[in-house]
Structure 1
Amino acid sequence: MGLGKQLPCCIMVTPCTTSPVSPAVQAGRRDNDQNLRAPVKKSRRPRLRRKQPLQPLNPGPLPGDSGVCDLFESPSSGSEGSDSPAAARSCSPLLGPAQHLVQLDLQTFRDYGQSCYAFRRARESHFHPREPLARQPQVTAESRCKLLSWLIPVHRQFGLSFESLCLTVNTLDRFLTTTPVAADCFQLLGVTSLLIACKQVEVHPPRVKQLLALCCGAFSRQQLCNLECIVLHKLHFSLGAPTISFFLEHFTHARVEAGQVEVSEALEAQTLARGVAELSLADYAFTNYAPSQLAICCLALADRMLHLQHPVDLCLVGHPEEALQDCLGKLQLLVAINGTSLTHMLPIQICEKCSLPPSLK
């Protein structure tokens, strides 16, 4: 009988379940199984998430931008209404007459006040533009007054600080000393200077679309951003100018720290002096005076109008007495001419204390 093909056989090996295993061996097997087991991620407690984002306590202005992202946005048909001046007023708090007076931080003034004042006082002449319209064939003192008379309500409409307004005027005048500006581009230079100033001190600067809407669509985003680059280049990115706002705050802290006036009286005088300074910013005759000189003269005039017993000393800043008296006389004439406008800038309680004619209150 011959050998045929061998059939494959399947061999199954089954473990023996009848052999006894000692407890020690079972414990060792469990330990080995635990060591060979992959690590298991511990379960975490579910994280609680808010269904709605946090809302601010007080409604503030819309977040600002740098102007670069707007170059890549296509305007939609529904965006015109949100960028109108009326919409800008609705999203920004107005600085009305009932604005609360800012409290003084005397401890910070004791630590850094004199050093900050000495530093800014030494750099004041470097940032002070003298005769900004000397090289301007088309921009006149009248057109500058019209532009700033328009920018002052705009800065109040957006709820911006007085420091932003002072930096805006400084940026505008310094650029005018370097480059001739066409008359039809002067308003664009004004809003560009405002945007540059707000980026330095404001938490939420106005959006480019809002500023262009105030110009009634006369300029494009590209024009504004291009002019912004030109202004920054001409000024060599040197923007931290000492302003009237800084010196007013310094003199107010200094007189309170010295015990010359009460805190409430000092704050009222500072508010009134700020209103007088706003009027002087639009008048070309005051461009020859340094910010510290204007600040001390505005504060001295405010003391006179409020009938304070201890007015501020004009010799505090070290300017010549003749120049200080000349500046103070021009400020008195400015207030006499623009008394009605001044009353709209001030709280009612301060207007009632001022020595203005009854017809202007």
Structure 2
Amino acid sequence: MQQLASKRGLEGRRPALGDITNSEITHSHNDGNKAGGKPALIRGMACVPQQHLAKQTFTDPSLIDSQMFHDKKRRDWVDVDAMNLDDPQACSSYAMAIFQHLRESEVTNRANAAYLEHFQTDVNSKMRAILIDWLVEVAEEYKLCADTLYLTVNYIDRFLSLYPVQRSQLQLVGVVCMWIAAKYEEIYPPNVTDFCYITDNTYSKEQMVQMEETILKRLSYELTVPTAKTFLRRLLQVCNPDELLHYLSNYLTELSLLDHSTAMVFLPSEVAAASVYLANLMLKRVPWDGTLRHYSGYCPSDINNCVCALGQLHTVIAGNVQLASIREKYAHPRFQAVSRIAGVPGLSQILA
């Protein structure tokens, strides 16, 4: 037993752990205490000139009265991430870095804004809106999560920016993009037979698989992209909304998927911020505050155009019989019937 202990090293530790553990500092610290000397940290500091120590330590703004330079008394936003430090899944320590990366990624993973006008010859914005309206029904039928729907639209727009499609194949492109998104996002995605069935077997399994290969190659297999739902989830986390604001913001953001100009002109993060702003206006609340400005990165003036576009789209969809899937979806009591909330009259004058 003594030989085994000696092989394992001090205090039963395996010698091999010394290669991956800062054991030298630990041992020197313990040895210093046993000998009655100074701990390693203090002995190390004794080697630093006093004038250098004073300059480095006591002029550090983070150590003066324990106040950081972004003093809470002077800022107008709430540090929501600090409230979630005990939750490892919230990634609070680097959440801001994650969303900064997503802001950069949303720019590089955009479709060509003019693909319907300058590239596609047999597909127009009305056909695209009808396709997405139908895909909303498909997502409801198979109980797919919202992220699957948003990814589907992203894949459709990016693919149509790169590959000319006949109108007879547009439904195939849409349903295959949803199949890809479902396999990416869902725990139990519908299989190829389910998606063939939802098209009344207009397309065969072989056509589905062939189109899937074509889409994936054109997208260079880049399927991880931020959507408006990604940024909306973050903003709703920081503003602590009630159910009305939560569902109304989601409704307005989902409406943006139907409109080609809104989806192409504005970044997903802009659409998410504008949806929260407009939802607050529709509920007659303060539309924006310091916390939303800090976490979104947008001032009200930055998103005014997007807010106006969403307001106009909300008015148009309210009276559109053909594109009714999203409106009927959010008219359900489980969504607090937010699609029945009236828009803001004179929105452009309010934002001017």
Task: Give the TM-score of the pair, scaled to structure 1.
Answer: 0.62
State the alpha-carbon separation in 1 of the partners of residues 195 and 340 from structure 2: 35
Contact (CA 8 Å) 1:305, 1:354: kept in 2 or not? no
Structure 1 residue aligned with 2:217: 233
Structure 2 residue aligned with 1:298: 275
State the alpha-carbon separation in 2 of the partners of residues 202 and 110 from structure 1: 25
1:242 corresponds, among 222, 226, 229, to 226
1:118: Cα distance to partner? 1.2
- Number of equivalenced pairs: 245
Matched position secondary structure for 2:196: helix
Deviation per CA, 1:79-110: give whole Å up to 9, x if none: xxxxxxxxxxxxxxxxxxxxxxxxxx943152
State the alpha-carbon separation in 2 of the partners of residues 222 and 188 from structure 1: 12
Structure number with higher relative contact order (C-alpha < 8 Å, ≥ 6 residues apart) = 1
What amino acid does structure 2 have at the position aligned with 1:345? Y
1:304: Cα distance to partner? 1.5
Structural mapping, 1:160-171, within 5 Å: 160-171=144-155
Structural mapping, 1:1-361, within 5 Å: 106=84, 107=87, 108=90, 110-131=92-113, 132-133=115-116, 134-256=118-240, 263=241, 265=242, 267-286=243-262, 287-309=264-286, 311=288, 315-316=293-294, 317-318=296-297, 324-339=303-318, 341=324, 342=327, 344-348=329-333, 350-351=336-337, 355-356=341-342
Name the % identity.
25
User: What RMSD, in angstroms, separates the aligned Cα atoms of the two structures?
Assistant: 2.5
Deviation per CA, 1:293-321: give whole Å up to 9, x if none: 00000111111222334645675544586
Runs of 4+ in 1 over 6 A off after TM superposition: none
1:329: Cα distance to partner? 0.7
Matched position secondary structure for 1:338: helix
What amino acid does structure 2 have at the position aligned with 1:114? M
Contact (CA 8 Å) 1:271, 1:346: kept in 2 or not? no
Deviation per CA, 1:258-301: give whole Å up to 9, x if none: xxxxx5x2x53232111112211011121211100000001111
Matched position secondary structure for 1:249: helix
Contact (CA 8 Å) 1:339, 1:356: kept in 2 or not? no
1:352: Cα distance to partner? 6.9
Deviation per CA, 1:97-138: give whole Å up to 9, x if none: xxxxxxxx9431524422221111111101111323231111
Flag structure 1 segments of 5+ consecutive residues without an equivalent.
1-104, 257-262
Contact (CA 8 Å) 2:249, 2:279: kept in 1 or not? yes
Structure with a larger share of its residues in helix: 2
State the alpha-carbon separation in 2 of the partners of residues 249 and 145 from structure 1: 24
Matched position secondary structure for 1:281: coil
Contact (CA 8 Å) 2:270, 2:303: kept in 1 or not? yes
Flag structure 2 segments of 5+ consecutive residues without an equivalent.
1-82, 344-352
Deviation per CA, 1:296-349: give whole Å up to 9, x if none: 001111112223346456755445865621111111111122237436415537
State the alpha-carbon separation in 1 of the partners of residues 231 and 143 from structure 2: 21
State the alpha-carbon separation in 1 of the partners of residues 237 and 91 from structure 2: 7
More off after superposition, 298-307 vs 141-150: 298-307
Contact (CA 8 Å) 2:244, 2:338: kept in 1 or not? no
Whose radius of gyration is greater, 1 or 2?
A: 1
State the alpha-carbon separation in 2 of the partners of residues 312 and 190 from structure 1: 38
Matched position secondary structure for 1:113: helix
> Is the alpha carbon distance of 1:344 and 1:235 closer, same or farther for their aligned partners in structure 2, counting shifts above 3 Å?
closer
Contact (CA 8 Å) 1:249, 1:270: kept in 2 or not? no
